[in-house]
Structure 1
Amino acid sequence: MLLEVNDLHVNYGAIKAVKGISFYVEKGEIVTLIGANGAGKTTTLRTITGLEHAASGTIHFKDKDITNIAPHRIVEMGITHVPEGRRIFTNLTVMENLKMAALLRKDPEGKKASYEEVFELFPRLKERRMQPSITLSGGEQQMLAVGRAIVTGGDLVVLDEPSMGLAPKIVDEIFEVIQRMNQEGKTILLNEQNAFMALSVANRAYVLETGNITIEGPAKDLLTDPRVKEAYLGS
């Protein structure tokens, strides 16, 4: 098992944001968390990658306990986080952003190959590689955020709301890239409010409601689950 979360609790002061959830991700899967705003999805991802502190419970990655260790160490171990809101370095060029993401890598040939992979997946980034990233459109900035995850390396990519604020055509492009990343060996843990898109590409899914997992199973089954359809698929 690549990632295992067991009885995870996360609090913000007196607010219990995550209330004892357990789930797992196998190598080679796309697993998605879906749910309304405030359900605890982003908090869960941020805790896995060390940006929030777990009150209790454990997180194991490749059978090693990574609960509450420093974010940079988690990156070194092979987990890459594409945060909500992109968080690119807008004062740097596209290429400088990619080079920053590759700083921890010790394999020059692998770095070079990963840049080419990003430019193959996102030709627009190649065209704009010397532009300040602040000049990119929202969709192009999201492409750059995903590109940085590819360049960072590692086995597990954690994606937080990759479609947020994007035009439908760009959303389709981003999800096509997510599938290609998975086909090329990346395991994906995805938090996505566009439940239909998320369930269409995922192997398995978990529904979070107010900090609890209420439904779980194969993504194709959740697509036809009446509870999920009524609450998240608009039918």
Structure 2
Amino acid sequence: MRSYGEYCAIAKSLDVVGDRWTLLIVRELALRGPSRYTDLRGGLPGIATNLLADRLRELEHAGVITREDAPPPIATTLYRLTPRGEDLRPLLDELFRWGLPLMTEQNPEDAVRSHWLAGAIGLMLTDRTPDAPPVTVELRTGDQPIVIETRDGTIHTRLGPAESADATLTGPPKPILGLLLGLLGPADAKAGGVDFGGDTTIIERITA
């Protein structure tokens, strides 16, 4: 781990989480909770296994993560955030928000994981009619369905599928995100490959 060599809180923070892949490892543990080494590799396409091992060792040494032996039937090592690591959640939330406008462009070679999208979607949507009955929307995109639920005026997201969805959106992630962000109308989203199912008026209730 290289140091900036500056007596500055930002520089000291970047000494710990500023290397390539490091903050994405924190993202995986924040979104997934305690994870196996293989889970982390699956959520970090492109990382070399030796580099992942190095980054995990550095984060453990810095007190950001810890590892524990899971009981049977898992019977393997799990990595999780320490309280110090949990303190990085607000930073991750702000990076999700800051990066959302950048997701209007998608490289065809970009990897997609549904739990990345769920993390961003949960922060950007608002229930416009919080006093109305709860609704469930299922997004069929990425590698797993994403379920959006409204409860008590709050948006909740999780990986699906939903037991019973009031509305569904099926298609590529970019136009679905564009629709939910209010950057695309339904016609443009359909032109981008999005199929609507169920009560599509519900979509207007939760768009950003």
Q: TM-score range by the shorter chain?
A: under 0.3
**Normalized per residue, which structure has more strand?**
1
State the TM-score, normalizing by the size of structure 2.
0.27
State the TM-score, normalizing by the size of structure 1.
0.25
